[in-house]
Amino acid sequence: MAAHAQSGVGDSSTLQPEAEKATTTSTASASEHKNGVKPSVLIIGGLGYCGRFLALYIHNNNLASEVRIVDKQLPELAWLAPEFSEACSRSKFIQADASRKGK
């Protein structure tokens, strides 16, 4: 065990800069595709608690070229707070019920 501590293997201080480097590069590559184009995002259940905050986060950080929200409930009936009005706007919304089988 003493040999590992002297060589720096398993020492969290030697791993920390690499972890920070990986985080910054993955954040940059996650928001843009290899050719510099941002991805389009579809959020199913987008007016629920998690979906609305995901839409708001993507919108506020400009992480996608286009966001589409699918939910069975209309935005006007979802009790959205004012901060969600642009991120969950009617122009980004498609009404559908994923629990029903299509014909």
Q: DSSP string of 29-97? A: HHHS-TTSPPPEEEEETTTSHHHHHHHHHHHHTT--SEEEEEESS-GGGTT--GGGTTTT-GGGEEE--
At 40, the pLDDT band (50, 70, 90 cuts) reads very high
The Cα–Cα gap between 102 and 99 comes to: 9
pLDDT tens across 57-82, in order?
999 999 999 999 999 998 888 899 99
Sign of CA dihedral 8, 13, 15, 21: negative
Task: Answer yes or no: is pLDDT of 1 > 50.
Answer: no
Residue 62 vs residues 37, 56, 72: alpha-carbon distances, Å: 12, 10, 26
The mean per-residue pLDDT over the stretch 42-60 comes to: 95
pLDDT tens across 21-35, in order?
443 344 444 545 567
> Which pLDDT belongs to residue 64?
96
> Which pLDDT belongs to residue 99?
82
At 12, the pLDDT band (50, 70, 90 cuts) reads very low
Cα-flanking dihedrals φ and ψ of residue 47, to 5°?
-100, 0
> Which pLDDT belongs to residue 98?
78
The Cα–Cα gap between 68 and 17 comes to: 37
